[in-house]
Amino acid sequence: MPWSWPAAADEFGRYLSIERGVSPRTHEAYLRDLEEFRAGFAARRGRAPEPRRIDVPEIRAHLAALHGRLDAASIARKLSSLRAFFRFLVRRGERDDNPAALVRSPKRKRALPRALNVDDTCHLVESAGAAVADPDGPLGIRDRAIMEVLYGAGLRISECCGLDLEDVQRQGDDAALLEIRHAKGRKHRLVPLGGKAMLALDAYLAVRATLAHPKTGAQDPAALFLNARGGRLTPRSIQVHMGKDVAASGVPDATPHALRHSFATHLLDGGADLRAIQELLGHASLSSTQVYTKVSLDHLMSVYDQAHPHARGKKP
């Protein structure tokens, strides 16, 4: 018997969790996009969609309804969800074709990642923790360590939160390797951590035991970065703490991901090989890393325009 839409969506959800092993956030986004398609179809047709009967015009009608209220990137992501869903149905024998694969994605302008300059980055990282009540207390020390690790290793915020104590592999007194086991797409990698970041991390580890539940004294025994109650720190918490540090520092538009972009751009400016940066960032494709060459070139041209006596007709 052919699957109904709810049955197909449920099976697809199990496939994403068990076979694909996607993150909870990705899982939620896929199913939300499917529900949006179902609701839109029902509003247009007055009935529930049947997975086996959806065709290319229905996919296009759905995307057309999204124009005007969503940008091209968001529409492309929703089309990607439908492609994955119908591809799953083909694999399960519920369809012979994938109608979403025949629909072209809307053209979108790829925004360049925002990278801070070296001076702003250093100022932000070195002033981290200043926004808490006691900058020299455990929370201020922790926030400085987090900022140093985010920039020093080019981590995603989720990767930073996912670090365990055992993921810090020391390489002497002033360096370490971080084992990233909770990376995007489950791509395991090792990332070096330099001297300044290790100093900040060691300072935090010396006070980590003081971050515990105020009544029970309990704390997460595995997590590297803890909140004030001894639990694993969440991405949202880091965003909030960093937002306060950014406001106090005066560095504009700095985010955890901007530190990751800055890490890559500064390495490229310093002569690092693009393939090496790809490995450090954990990018599956080199094309994802190549965008930093444009950022680096823009920075280089800005420096040239400001410094060279013949740039833009300047007189020597």
Q: How many CA atoms lie within 13 A of 234 on its CB side?
A: 4
Q: How far apart are CA 245 and CA 120, in angstroms?
A: 13
**Residue 78 known to be catalytic:** no
**Residue 257 known to be catalytic:** yes
**Residue 304 known to be catalytic:** no
Element (H, E) at 77: helix 72-91
Of the residues 184, 189, 196, 232, which is catalytic? 184
Report DSSP state, residue 103.
S
Token representation of residue 229:
């109650």
Cα R_g (the chain), whole angstroms = 24
**DSSP string of 99-122?**
GGGGSPPPP---PPPP---HHHHH
Of the residues 62, 260, 261, 266, which is catalytic? 260
**Residue 283 known to be catalytic:** yes
Q: How far apart are CA 283 and CA 281, in angstroms?
A: 6
Query: Which burial class, exposed, middle or buried, applies to 13 when counting CB atoms under 10 A from its CB (0-12, 13-18, 19+)?
Result: middle
Of the residues 30, 151, 204, 292, which is catalytic? 292
State the chain's maximal CA–CA distance in angstroms: 81
CB 116 within 8 A of CB 124: yes
CB 184 within 8 A of CB 156: yes
Look at the alpha carbons of 121, 127, 128, 132 in this order and tell me if their dihedral is positive or negative.
negative
Of the residues 78, 95, 142, 283, which is catalytic? 283
Of the residues 62, 78, 142, 156, which is catalytic? 156
Of the residues 27, 189, 232, 257, which is catalytic? 257
- Give the residue among 117, 155, 131 at the shortest CA–CA distance from 252: 117
Report DSSP state, residue 164.
B
The amino acid present at 144, given as its one-letter code, is: R
What residues act catalytically? 156, 184, 257, 260, 283, 292
